[in-house]
């Protein structure tokens, strides 16, 4: 591996780490305390943890990701798989740290604010990881698979997958919180597509500039 490739790899994993921390913050300080199952494995983990309190959200995410890792390696590729393994392990660790050491709490108990702010934070973190060809694991892997083998944008793929989690959350925490979760999932899907489009546009612009510089 050349020095440039090593620097690029370190930079990518640093960006993934930042994305994971952002997602974890959104889940632990906005979604979890307000029982908003905002889709994904984290949302399903909230539902499972409600019925099995002895299992933390981070632990459930860890177990769920173990099951889905093989799928990502086979259907999406090694690069995505390795990055996703790192991101999911890191997310489990960060969420457990926030929950057990920092003793997470609801920054706001206003459900509208919790949904909007939590989704803006989580969606930004997820978009950052997707843009680096990674995911935080769980149902994100399924969304990536659908995206790879179809023409559907990654945000909309995530929306389709997360609808099941929203239904489970509504049955567990009540119809009103299920509707808030649905709102979170819809905003999240649209936000991710928007952010990724901007990141890719900026990346393409930089590549064009480099080509012009090299041509000169």
Q: Tens-of-pLDDT digits for all 216 residues of the chain?
A: 677 778 888 888 999 999 999 999 998 899 888 877 766 777 788 888 888 888 887 788 778 777 777 776 777 666 777 887 888 788 888 988 898 888 888 898 898 898 889 888 988 888 888 778 777 767 777 777 777 788 777 777 777 777 877 888 788 888 777 788 788 878 877 787 787 777 777 777 777 776 666 666
Domain count for the chain, please give it: 1
* Residue-level pLDDT at 21: 93
Could you tell me if 184 and 168 are in contact, meaning their C-beta atoms sit under 8 angstroms apart? no
Which has the closest alpha carbon to 91: 55, 64, 54, 120? 64
Q: Whole-angstrom Cα distance, residue 38 to residue 119?
A: 8
What are the DSSP E strand ranges found in 127-179?
none
Could you tell me if 135 and 23 are in contact, meaning their C-beta atoms sit under 8 angstroms apart? no
Could you tell me if 169 and 178 are in contact, meaning their C-beta atoms sit under 8 angstroms apart? yes
Q: Whole-angstrom Cα distance, residue 215 to residue 207?
A: 12
Task: Give the torsion through C-alpha atoms of 42, 48, 54, 57, to 10 deg.
Answer: 0
Q: With 0.85 as the threshold, say if the pTM is over it.
A: no
* Residue-level pLDDT at 18: 93
What are 166-174's contacts with CB under 8 Å, separation 24+? 166/37, 166/39, 166/43, 168/37, 168/43, 168/44, 168/47, 169/35, 169/36, 169/37, 169/43, 169/46, 169/47, 170/37, 172/37, 172/47, 172/50, 172/51, 173/35, 173/37, 173/47, 173/50
Q: Which residues form the domain of 197? A: 3-215
């Amino acid at each position: 591996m050349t020095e440039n490739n090593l620097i690029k790899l370190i930079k990518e994993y640093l960006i993934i780490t930042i994305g994971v921390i952002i997602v974890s913050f959104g889940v632990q300080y906005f979604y979890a305390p307000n029982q908003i199952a905002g889709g994904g494995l984290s949302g399903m983990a909230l539902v499972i943890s409600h019925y099995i309190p002895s299992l933390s959200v981070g632990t459930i995410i860890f177990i769920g990701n173990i099951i889905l890792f093989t799928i990502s390696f086979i259907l999406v590729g090694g690069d995505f798989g390795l990055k996703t393994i790192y991101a999911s392990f890191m997310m489990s660790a960060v969420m457990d740290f926030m929950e057990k050491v920092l003793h997470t709490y609801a920054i706001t108990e206003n459900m509208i604010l919790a949904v909007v702010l939590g989704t803006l934070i989580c969606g930004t973190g997820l978009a950052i990881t997707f843009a680096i060809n990674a995911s935080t694991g769980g149902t994100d892997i399924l969304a990536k698979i659908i995206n790879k083998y179809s023409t559907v944008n990654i945000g909309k793929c995530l929306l389709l997958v997360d609808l099941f989690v929203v239904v489970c959350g509504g049955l567990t925490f009540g119809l009103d919180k299920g509707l808030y979760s649905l709102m979170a999932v819809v905003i999240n899907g649209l936000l991710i597509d928007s952010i990724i489009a901007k990141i890719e546009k900026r990346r393409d612009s930089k590549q064009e500039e480099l080509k012009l510089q090299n041509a000169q």
